Amino acid sequence: MALAQLEPEGLDAEGQNWQQRKSIQTRLAILEAAIDCLQEHGFARTTTQLIAQMAGISRGAMLHHYATKQELIASVLEYTFFKRMENFLAAIRTLSEDERVDRNAGIEIYWESLLTREFGAYLELMVAARTDSELREVFLPKARHYERIERAEVARAFPEWQDDPDAYDLAMDFCISAMQGLLFNREIWEDRDRRIRLRRFISTAIVMLRSGALAA
Amino acid sequence: MALAQLEPEGLDAEGQNWQQRKSIQTRLAILEAAIDCLQEHGFARTTTQLIAQMAGISRGAMLHHYATKQELIASVLEYTFFKRMENFLAAIRTLSEDERVDRNAGIEIYWESLLTREFGAYLELMVAARTDSELREVFLPKARHYERIERAEVARAFPEWQDDPDAYDLAMDFCISAMQGLLFNREIWEDRDRRIRLRRFISTAIVMLRSGALAA
DNA sequence: AGCAAAAAGCCAACCTGATTGTTTGTTATC
DNA sequence: GATAACAAACAATCAGGTTGGCTTTTTGCT
């Protein structure tokens, strides 16, 4: 149940020969282009043509690497989750114990991870999967798998929770819900100060949950 | 700033003549069909053909009532918001003071309002508007307007908050974020008990916020 | 009141543009 | 020579919107 287990295969290995290196490079360009497309135009308007164009290759070349759109989307799913998670955990590890435990700085880092291109694309797939049955069948099993990995990895990064696993689970559910909900309403709620106040409130609630003052 | 002000025009008046009544009836059938389509297939796959088919009329007839898809969507937006809000407020008014204030029953009613067909359709437009620039221009101004109305109407339904408007604003933001975030992750989090526990936690946090024990 | 013109509700066929996946061909690498 | 990377053209499908026509209701004029 470790993050490293699901590092996208075929993208990291420094290939020996020219063709492998070229292939990896092109695949990465396609994935990054797909992320941009998803973020900017949404899943529905993310056409294979647009991705290829943004990646700077022909559609034919793209369909050589990813035979179908579904196959590409599955790769984007893995890639965005892994990249975001890796960056998030790396950022958490840079925190001092004081910042992490007493000042609850992980919350803001989590919030920032929701504002990345990677999560933008992931989110787009997440909402599209609610109504697109094909995507749903690809997305749900993966999302549930990722969720378990995320929980385990984050638990390791926040050892101060380890003596109360129930509270930790609740805090995770709570943090994810509240933050993602805020993300969705961000554009409707124009008042930035109010959004900041909400994040501070969420943070306070989590601290109180950890201290046992806010038992469910 | 009252809900009644934005009751969709042309749908409620009991028209005198036959044509007006027929027209209203058809428009309602179209709106309800659009809600079903949005909920089931998502915005991207909600085609005019599908809506017409589900409403039991021809595409030509539909485009007679709503000349363009954008026009129809704008009507769906108004209609779903109004209908959900009206039902929500009506349900709140059936609560006794004890249920509402001391047992915080409004939270569960709000949650149930998020599970309705109307909110399902509204949500679909909300997420699609994040990346569809045409829809965005229709959605954002309306959503911001509705948000103000919602706040004012809900404030009237929960008079126990009226002596602390700042806490009320925060509680609203918090409740909306956390509940909608939960809604999004509902399918990923398979454990129903954990979801119930999260709602209880959110409820507790709001009660503590009202009592002043959880100042931001 | 009677009747013709106008308008409303409705339908079917057509047109244009876009998207996906397939097929065929070309060049460079193994 | 076989295979991989890539490109371009093709076919099938499907979207939204327009046009013309048909039936019923409403309106206005005598």
| Weakest-pLDDT range from A8-12, A102-106, B88-92 | A8-12
How does pLDDT run across A29-70, given as a tens digit for each residue? 999 999 999 999 999 999 999 999 999 999 999 999 999 999
For the cut 80, the answer to whether the pLDDT of residue B18 exceeds it is no
Tell me the three state secondary structure of residue A10: coil
Residue A215 has a pLDDT of 65
pTM, entire model: 0.92
Contact A179 B181 (CB under 8 A): yes
| Best mutation target, B117, B188, B192, B210, to test chain A (most A CBs within 10 A) | B188
> What radius of gyration do chain A's Cα atoms show?
19
Compare all CA atoms of chain B with the CA of A145 and give the residue at the minimum distance.
B188
Nearest to B184 by CA among A111, A176, A216, A171: A176
| Residue predicted with more confidence, B108 or A14 | B108
A121-134 per-position pLDDT tens digit: 999 999 999 999 98
The pLDDT-based confidence of A93 (bands split at 50, 70, 90) is: very high
**Max CA-CA distance within chain B?**
60
User: How high is the pLDDT of residue B19?
Assistant: 64
Average pLDDT, chain A: 91
Quick check: A198 and B173 in contact, CB under 8 A? yes
Cβ neighbours for A209, distance < 8 A, ≥ 6 positions apart: A167, A170, A171, A174, A215, B201
Taking 70 as the threshold, does the pLDDT of residue B174 lie above it?
A: yes
Give me the pLDDT at residue B11, please.
66
> Which of the two residues, A6 and A165, has the higher pLDDT score?
A165
- Look up the protein residue whose alpha carbon has the minimum distance to the C1' of C24: A60
A&B contacts, CB < 8 Å = 140
Question: In chain B, count of helices (H) and strands (E)?
Answer: 10, 0
| Residue B41, CB, strand D, below 7 Å | no
Buried residues in B7-40 as b, exposed as e (16+ CB within 10 A) = ebeebeeeeeeeeeeebbebbebbbbbbbbbbbb
Tell me: the pLDDT tens digits for B52-89?
Answer: 999 999 999 999 999 999 999 999 999 999 999 999 99
Calpha distance A37→B132 (Å, rounded): 12
**pLDDT reported for residue A102:** 87
Q: Are A113 and A84 in contact (CB under 8 A)?
A: yes
